[in-house]
Structure 1
Amino acid sequence: MAMTLRLEAEDEKTLAELAEMDGVSKQEATRRAIREAASRRHHQAGVAEASAWARDRYAEVLERLGK
């Protein structure tokens, strides 16, 4: 799917620098940034879910340790 991405001048400069550092096109740098951001968010959600599960599962133990 084709898409037009409009960037502020500073964002365009940052994207160009990122692409240059990675030795890829700006298009590839954009794709990588999108995938990396999505991966980070999925990971953070997984960590939050595991943390909530552990707090629930071990609530009694944590309560006793806090005393």
Structure 2
Amino acid sequence: MTLRLTDEQTEALRAAADQDGLSMQAAAVRAVEEYSLRRREQRDRLLEQFSRENRAVLDRLRDS
């Protein structure tokens, strides 16, 4: 995989990595992992909310 960043993005990544004592690679991997985790957590919250709000309909569908 090739990641293409603008000069500004590269500098922001470099600065953030330096502040955290990480390589740019490690900082990028961490960012991807954190982004993926947030998305999974958001999906799980939305599915739980949908299930709660539509419990009666889902129960009727399951029982039919």
Q: TM-score, normalised by structure 2?
A: 0.79
- For 1:55 and 1:47, the matched residues in 2 are separated by 12
- For 1:14 and 1:58, the matched residues in 2 are separated by 49
Which runs of 5 or more structure 2 residues have no equivalent in the other structure? 58-64
- For 2:13 and 2:29, the matched residues in 1 are separated by 11
Which runs of 5 or more structure 1 residues have no equivalent in the other structure? 60-67
Q: Does 1:48 align with 2:46?
A: yes
Q: TM-score, normalised by structure 1?
A: 0.76
CA RMSD for the aligned pairs? 1.7
Number of residue equivalences: 57
Map residues 31-42 of structure 1 onto 2, 5 A cutoff.
Answer: 31-42=29-40
- What amino acid sits opposite 2:30 in the alignment? R
**Aligned residue in 2 for 1:22:** 20
**Aligned residue in 1 for 2:9:** 11
- For 2:17 and 2:56, the matched residues in 1 are separated by 46
Q: Give the 4+ runs in structure 1 shifted more than 6 A.
A: none
- For 1:58 and 1:47, the matched residues in 2 are separated by 19
